């Protein structure tokens, strides 16, 4: 793609990066074939190629974004399926991030929209506030028929049941062997630690059982993804810098072999810290180190540990549908490892038809773009029902919440299953099967 940025424009690091990305695009349109919103709406501007043109026009010509342009950018899921498809290696992820940041700075949204986006920005990344919202949502559901639009969508997504903790909360979880084989930091997350604490507990159990010492830092609440994808660059960077400093100090003082993420959306952002701070003199080195250390839990288990699977404990064989979260398969390029791990349980792992297509969760997308998210959920549920699994496994809490809202088949995190089949408890979501 031809670009016409001025020399002054290219002094800006984001313009410089975007210009390189834009020049890789050859207009082939292969990206549209796997774009969920293009396939639903059939509009060129609701596909990656069209959005690339819109972003180029905005940033190159310094245009004030129009409502029409913003609506097309907002409808992007950031599922990154286009990046997996693209034969030219266009880094759409960094381009759409630049476009969203530009829109947040240059476009004045309607008052109600600004208030609601600010509400999401300030509440979801705060575990204590989010926990309070979950509690009052139970009351709100009684009066849901009176609550329209996005607020009603939030109530739909609120979990029906939250399991209590079974592990004692502490900062260091010692390995069960005298001499640990590794020492890792676990991102316990913001939303996940509230709605599904059992995921972190399974992660800790399986790691300590196999000789890994685990540290947690409750001070790290959010990876910054939520504000990052809302285009709230300054707020996101506050989280990024806080996290980087905490983990880097721990790495220097006591050593870390990895930073473990068991939420694929968070892991994708952590692995991008190095790029985000690529020209920041203070944080460049630190950020790159944190990105290099970050591993999805399935990635770490498959690459670093010899797991002791105890198949005799669980004699029944299940048909398990594996849902590969977009942030996992397209964002992190981690797809084979979780399937390999699940295969070692002795169960049958089923591929979901059109498994590369997003379920509609995508962070806050299912709240802000409810109609499209519901359409994608319906498609995903229909495809899961075709293969008739006993239950579903995935590596992302957002997908778990979204899919469970449209199907009666139990869904669990992949690490819960690996924990169960290596000596841990049966996941509570599977008690009915």
* Residue range 3-20, pLDDT digits in tens: 999 999 999 999 999 999
* Residue range 351-368, pLDDT digits in tens: 999 999 999 999 999 999
Q: Identify which of 243, 237, 184, 242 has the alpha carbon closest to the alpha carbon of residue 208.
A: 184
Q: What is the average pLDDT across 135-156?
A: 64
- Confidence at residue 148, expressed as pLDDT on a 0 to 100 scale: 61
* Residue range 179-229, pLDDT digits in tens: 899 999 999 988 888 888 999 999 999 999 999 999 999 888 899 999 999
* Residue range 21-35, pLDDT digits in tens: 999 999 999 999 999
Task: Report the distance separating Cα 390 and Cα 318, nearest Å.
Answer: 6
Q: Would you state the CATH architecture of domain 309-430? A: 3-Layer(aba) Sandwich (3.40)
Q: Name the pTM for this structure.
A: 0.91
- Confidence at residue 294, expressed as pLDDT on a 0 to 100 scale: 98
Going from N- to C-terminal start, the domains of the chain cover 9-106, 172-303, 309-430
- Confidence at residue 396, expressed as pLDDT on a 0 to 100 scale: 95
**Cα→Cα distances 296→126, 265, 304, Å:** 22, 10, 12
- Confidence at residue 136, expressed as pLDDT on a 0 to 100 scale: 73
**Cα→Cα distances 293→20, 34, 183, 251, 379, Å:** 27, 31, 11, 10, 36
- Confidence at residue 159, expressed as pLDDT on a 0 to 100 scale: 67
Q: What is the average pLDDT across 263-291?
A: 96
Q: What is the average pLDDT across 415-433?
A: 93
* Residue range 89-124, pLDDT digits in tens: 999 999 999 999 999 999 999 999 999 999 999 988
Q: Check pLDDT > 90 for residue 58.
A: yes
Q: Check pLDDT > 70 for residue 155.
A: no
Q: What is the average pLDDT across 331-345?
A: 95
CB 165 within 8 A of CB 201: yes
pLDDT band of 147, cuts 50, 70, 90: low
Q: What is the average pLDDT across 33-38?
A: 97
Question: Which residues, listed in sequence order, are joined to residue 349 by a DSSP beta bridge?
Answer: 320
Least confident of 127-131, 174-178, 333-337: 127-131
- Confidence at residue 304, expressed as pLDDT on a 0 to 100 scale: 87
- Confidence at residue 48, expressed as pLDDT on a 0 to 100 scale: 97
- Confidence at residue 113, expressed as pLDDT on a 0 to 100 scale: 93
Task: Report the distance separating Cα 427 and Cα 392, nearest Å.
Answer: 12
DSSP string computed for 233-270: HHHHHHHHHHHHHHHHHHHHHH--SEEEESSHHHHHHH
Task: Report the distance separating Cα 95 and Cα 217, nearest Å.
Answer: 32
Q: What percent of the chain has pLDDT over 70?
A: 92
Q: Would you state the CATH architecture of domain 172-303? A: Up-down Bundle (1.20)
Task: Report the distance separating Cα 343 and Cα 348, nearest Å.
Answer: 7
Cβ-proximal residues to 158 (8 Å cutoff; 6+ apart), any chain: 133, 134, 137, 138, 140, 141
Task: Report the distance separating Cα 85 and Cα 81, nearest Å.
Answer: 6
pLDDT band of 77, cuts 50, 70, 90: very high
CATH 1.10.1060.10 matches 9-106: yes
CB 67 within 8 A of CB 43: no
């Amino acid at each position: 793609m031809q670009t016409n940025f001025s020399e002054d424009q290219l002094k800006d690091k984001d313009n410089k990066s975007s210009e390189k990305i834009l020049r890789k695009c050859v207009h082939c349109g292969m990206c549209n074939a796997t774009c969920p919103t293009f396939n639903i709406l059939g509009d060129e501007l609701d596909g990656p190629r069209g959005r690339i043109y819109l972003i180029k026009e905005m940033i190159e010509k310094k245009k004030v974004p129009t409502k029409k342009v913003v609506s097309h950018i907002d409808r992007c899921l950031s599922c990154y399926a286009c990046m997996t498809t693209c034969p030219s290696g266009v880094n759409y992820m960094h381009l759409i991030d630049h476009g969203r940041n530009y829109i947040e700075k240059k476009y004045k949204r309607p008052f109600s929209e600004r208030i609601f986006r600010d509400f999401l920005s300030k509440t979801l990344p705060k575990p204590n506030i989010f926990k309070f919202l979950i509690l009052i949502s139970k009351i709100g559901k009684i009066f849901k028929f009176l609550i329209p639009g996005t607020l009603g969508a939030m109530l739909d997504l609120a979990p029906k049941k939250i399991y209590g903790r079974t592990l004692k909360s502490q900062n260091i979880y010692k390995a069960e062997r005298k001499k640990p084989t590794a020492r890792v930091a676990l991102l316990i997350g913001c939303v996940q630690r509230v709605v599904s604490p059992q995921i972190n507990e399974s992660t800790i159990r399986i790691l300590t059982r196999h000789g890994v010492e685990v540290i947690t830092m409750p001070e790290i609440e959010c990876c910054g993804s939520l504000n990052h994808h809302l285009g709230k660059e300054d707020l996101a960077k506050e989280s990024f810098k806080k996290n980087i400093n905490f983990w880097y100090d721990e790495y220097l003082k006591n050593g870390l072999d990895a930073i473990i993420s068991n939420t694929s959306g968070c892991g994708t952002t952590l692995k991008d810290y190095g790029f985000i701070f690529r020209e920041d003199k203070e944080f460049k080195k630190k950020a790159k180190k944190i990105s290099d250390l970050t591993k999805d839990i399935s990635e770490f288990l498959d690459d670093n540990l010899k797991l002791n699977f105890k198949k005799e404990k669980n004699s029944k064989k299940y048909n398990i549908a594996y849902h590969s979260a977009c942030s996992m398969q397209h964002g992190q390029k981690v797809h084979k490892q979780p399937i390999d791990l699940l295969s070692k349980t002795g169960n049958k792992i089923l591929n979901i038809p059109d498994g590369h297509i997003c379920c509609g969760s995508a962070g806050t997308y299912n709240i802000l773009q409810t109609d499209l998210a519901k359409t994608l959920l319906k498609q995903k549920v229909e495809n899961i029902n075709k293969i008739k699994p006993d239950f579903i496994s995935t590596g992302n809490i957002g997908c778990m919440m979204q899919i469970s809202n449209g199907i009666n088949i139990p869904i669990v995190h992949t690490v819960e299953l690996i924990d169960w089949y290596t000596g841990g408890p049966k996941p509570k979501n599977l008690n009915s099967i």
